[in-house]
A and B are shown apart, each in its own frame.
Chain A
Amino acid sequence: MRGTVAALLRKELLVELRTLESVPAMSLFAVTTFVVFHFALNRGSVEGDLGAGVLWVTLLFAAILGVNRLFVADAEQGGFDGFMLAPVDATAMLLAKMATLLCYLIALELVAVPAFALLLLGPSLGPSLPGLIGVLALGDLGVAAIGTLVAALAVRTRARDLLGPLLGLPLLVPIVIGGARATSPLLTLAHSAPSARWLVTLGLYDLVFGLIAYALFDFLLED
């Protein structure tokens, strides 16, 4: 199992490195969105609630771009067929795709968070960076679990580019609630710590949707 997941993950990352299909687009999208927010809000800097909202909305929509592309190559170029022929557990594919999406999100945040700090954020990011990394990690886990499930649901439908975001966004709302509420005290001048309540909520949500994805993914791979 572990070997299968590692092999699949290696394949995914290799494909991404050679085609550069998702991560550059996601990062560029995030930076562009910050510019759009600057003009739309007509503000030079944001902080607190507003800052957390801008950051999470941007990350969420950029993540949706990656989610939409996640299974496209498998559906169009026979990746699913190849996987079905191999004598391995379907869960391996789920875990590999979740890990792939997690890598994409981390790469996205490595670009988007510094860009956000440079372009829009009023208070300095330094003191609250460890807290922010923790909150983002919890959020990313949830986005990876839900994103993989939604991507697998939407990829073999006629209107996949449309259905992916439509299905995904309502499911991701609780992550935005938890993430944004936990982030907003970090982005103030006081740099206060996020309340543990939101971290627990995020963690529980990740856990539940991880289990749901695990239980249901097999049914999406049957043909």
Chain B
Amino acid sequence: MYGKRLRPLSIATIAAMALALALVFFYAPLDAEQGFLQKIFYVHVPLAIAALGGFVLGAVLAIAHLRTRDPRWDMRSYVAIHMSLIFAVGALITGSIWAKGSWGHWWVWNEPTLVSFLIVFLLYATYQPLRFAIEDPERQARYASVFAVTAGAFVPMNFIAVRLSTAYLHPRVLGSTSNLPGPMALTFVVSLLAIVLLYATLCTYELTAKHTRAQVRALRRRVLGETPEQEGRRPRSAAPTTAPGAAIGAEAAGRAL
């Protein structure tokens, strides 16, 4: 059953978010140089970490799909990448705001983390057009997985290449939790946890919704006595469609379409 973990996950997420926000606003000290502006760090960096982690997770799930040929792995990979894209938009926007506030420009090219993040985002933005451009569902899943693995390997490579190309001026966030004073480090860790939980919850929500929709569609089809072939409309989104048989016999999923 898909939706079982949804309730505890949602509650944990809300609690963690509330705790993180409370720590950000009432506990973490003001930064000496940047003042209040520095608080965006507790949103921006966890968003970026969750998005990048999600991209790599999508690649791992895609490997599972290529090995097993089970369309459910493709669905998970799709959801992981889809949600990461949304988080990446958030990270880019908050990063831009932070850059404007602390350096006076919306975009700073000699900031390798920002630039490599943009390149990764541009690459992943083609994921959905690629899916949408392939009609055969089995081939769509396979090609999307090949893309996901390639892009997942590209993420660290790209970060190394761009970092080499620029002298950095960014606060070195990832390795620098030890440089942060204690209260800030604690706040950051809690914020990161909250955002990762949010990511997991949203992914579970999307998976549950897709699964439920497939189930409903299959049941309706059975009630109306239709065969899958008779329903000839094109899907409106690039999301993978789990086979209608998935609700009844999951292992038949691949062959049913």
Question: Is A220 an interface residue, CB under 8 A from the partner?
Answer: yes
By a CB distance below 8 angstroms, the chain B residues around A170 are 119-120, 122-123, 126, 154
Question: Is A11 an interface residue, CB under 8 A from the partner?
Answer: no
From B27-35, B39-47, B50-58, B139-147, give the one contacting chain A: B139-147
A212 contact from B66, B150, B164, Cβ within 8 A: B150
A137-174 contacts to B, CB under 8 A, are 149, 153-154, 156-160, 162-163, 166-167, 169-171, 173-174
Question: 1/0 per residue A120-136: CB within 8 Å of B?
Answer: 00000000000000000
- Interface size classification for chain B: 20 to 34
CB distance A216 to B146 under 8 Å?
yes
CB distance A208 to B153 under 8 Å?
yes
A164 to chain B, nearest CB (A): 10
Question: 1/0 per residue A175-199: CB within 8 Å of B?
Answer: 0011001000000000000000110
Considering the complex, give the chain B residue whose CB is closest to the CB of A159.
Answer: B133
Cα A167 to Cα B154 in complex, Å, equals 12
By a CB distance below 8 angstroms, the chain B residues around A169 are 122
Interface size on A, residues (CB 8 A): 32
Most buried by A among B138, B161, B164: B161
Cα A197 to Cα B164 in complex, Å, equals 9
Question: Is A223 an interface residue, CB under 8 A from the partner?
Answer: yes
Inter-chain residue pair count (beta carbon < 8 A): 82
CB distance A171 to B161 under 8 Å?
no
CB distance A216 to B158 under 8 Å?
no
Known: A177-B162, A201-B164. A220 touches B146 (CB 8 A): yes
B149 contact from A157, A181, A212, Cβ within 8 A: A212
CB distance B162 to A174 under 8 Å?
yes
Question: Is B135 an interface residue, CB under 8 A from the partner?
Answer: yes
CB distance A222 to B133 under 8 Å?
no
CB distance A222 to B142 under 8 Å?
yes
Question: Is A205 an interface residue, CB under 8 A from the partner?
Answer: yes
A205 contact from B123, B146, B161, Cβ within 8 A: B161
CB distance B134 to A156 under 8 Å?
yes
CB distance B153 to A173 under 8 Å?
no
By a CB distance below 8 angstroms, the chain B residues around A171 are 123, 150, 154
By a CB distance below 8 angstroms, the chain A residues around B143 are 153, 157, 220
A191-221 contacts to B, CB under 8 A, are 197-198, 201, 205, 208, 212, 215-216, 219-220
Cα A166 to Cα B162 in complex, Å, equals 19
CB distance B133 to A163 under 8 Å?
yes
Question: Is B11 an interface residue, CB under 8 A from the partner?
Answer: no
B161 contact from A158, A166, A201, Cβ within 8 A: A201
CB distance B150 to A216 under 8 Å?
yes
Considering the complex, give the chain B residue whose CB is closest to the CB of A165.
Answer: B126
Known: A156-B134, A181-B165, A197-B164. A219 touches B157 (CB 8 A): no
Considering the complex, give the chain A residue whose CB is closest to the CB of B65.
Answer: A219
Considering the complex, give the chain A residue whose CB is closest to the CB of B144.
Answer: A153
Known: A163-B133, A166-B129, A219-B145. A177 touches B153 (CB 8 A): no
CB distance B150 to A166 under 8 Å?
no
B155-205 contacts to A, CB under 8 A, are 157-158, 160-162, 164-165
Measuring CB to CB, which residues of chain B are less than 8 angstroms from any residue of chain A?
66, 119-120, 122-123, 126, 129-130, 133-136, 138-139, 142-143, 145-147, 149-150, 153-154, 157-158, 160-162, 164-165
Measuring CB to CB, which residues of chain A are less than 8 angstroms from any residue of chain B?
149, 153-154, 156-160, 162-163, 166-167, 169-171, 173-174, 177-178, 181, 197-198, 201, 205, 208, 212, 215-216, 219-220, 222-223
Q: A158-B133, A173-B161 are in contact. List 20 more A-B contacts (CB 8 A).
A: A149-B146, A153-B130, A153-B143, A153-B147, A163-B126, A170-B120, A170-B123, A173-B158, A173-B162, A174-B157, A174-B161, A177-B162, A198-B164, A201-B161, A201-B164, A205-B157, A208-B153, A216-B66, A219-B146, A223-B138
Q: Identify 23 residue pairs between A and B in the complex whose beta-carbon atoms are under 8 Å apart, listed by A's number.
A: A149-B150, A153-B143, A154-B130, A156-B134, A157-B130, A157-B143, A158-B133, A159-B133, A166-B129, A170-B122, A170-B123, A170-B126, A173-B119, A173-B162, A181-B165, A197-B164, A205-B161, A208-B157, A216-B66, A219-B66, A220-B142, A223-B136, A223-B138
8 closest A-B pairs by beta carbon, nearest first, are: A157-B133, A170-B123, A174-B161, A158-B133, A166-B126, A216-B146, A170-B122, A159-B133
